[in-house]
Amino acid sequence: MITVKKSQSVDWLLPFSCTELTRVMNAMLSAIGHEGKDVEINLVDDATVADLNSSFLQCDGPTNILSFPSTEDGSAQNIGWLALSMDTLERECFLYGQDRTEHALRLIAHGMLHLAGYDHGEEMFALTDVAVNAGLAATR
């Protein structure tokens, strides 16, 4: 099950509806071999993601997405939760001329792959493309 938690101040920056986001994330999970797993995504602002970044990773400032793998013993169903900064998403799209929908999908796929246990490298980058394509198909 996909759970979406929104901050009223920034959720309007998401380039698709919560229903589409759920469909996208389910398609991505299926594409990376984790069909039916539980994931929570929190749509937050820069202040919230900066607090999380500092508290959990001892890094200063905001980032685009954070992944928090599940620490529940014996729960293979719940793979964790994500914090997606809508402020950073918007800023990166403006600064780098990126399409908001595709960039959002790429960040979500990246975060979900971390939840699934992947680390940066060729395999993760290839699976990111697979997940983004599945997400794009789910928005149509």
Residues of each annotated binding site: 110, 114, 120
Q: Which two tokens stand for residue 83?
A: 């914090």
Q: What pLDDT, on the 0 to 100 scale, is given for residue 13?
A: 78
Buried-exposed string 5-20: b where 16+ CB fall within 10 A, e elsewhere:
ebbeebeebbbbeeeb
Written in H, E and C, the secondary structure of 7-62 is CCCCHHHCCCCHHHHHHHHHHHHHHCCCCCCEEEEEEECHHHHHHHHHHHHCCCCC
Which domains are present in the chain? 2-134 (3.40.390.30)
7-39: pLDDT as tens digits: 767 777 788 888 899 999 999 999 999 999 999
Task: Name the pTM for this structure.
Answer: 0.91
Q: Which two tokens stand for residue 99?
A: 């399409």
78-107: pLDDT as tens digits: 899 999 999 999 999 999 999 999 999 999
Distance between alpha carbon 54 and the CA centroid of its chain, in Å? 19
Q: What pLDDT, on the 0 to 100 scale, is given for residue 75?
A: 59
108-129: pLDDT as tens digits: 999 999 999 999 999 999 999 9
Residues of each annotated binding site for Zn(2+): 110, 114, 120
Q: Which two tokens stand for residue 32?
A: 């990376």
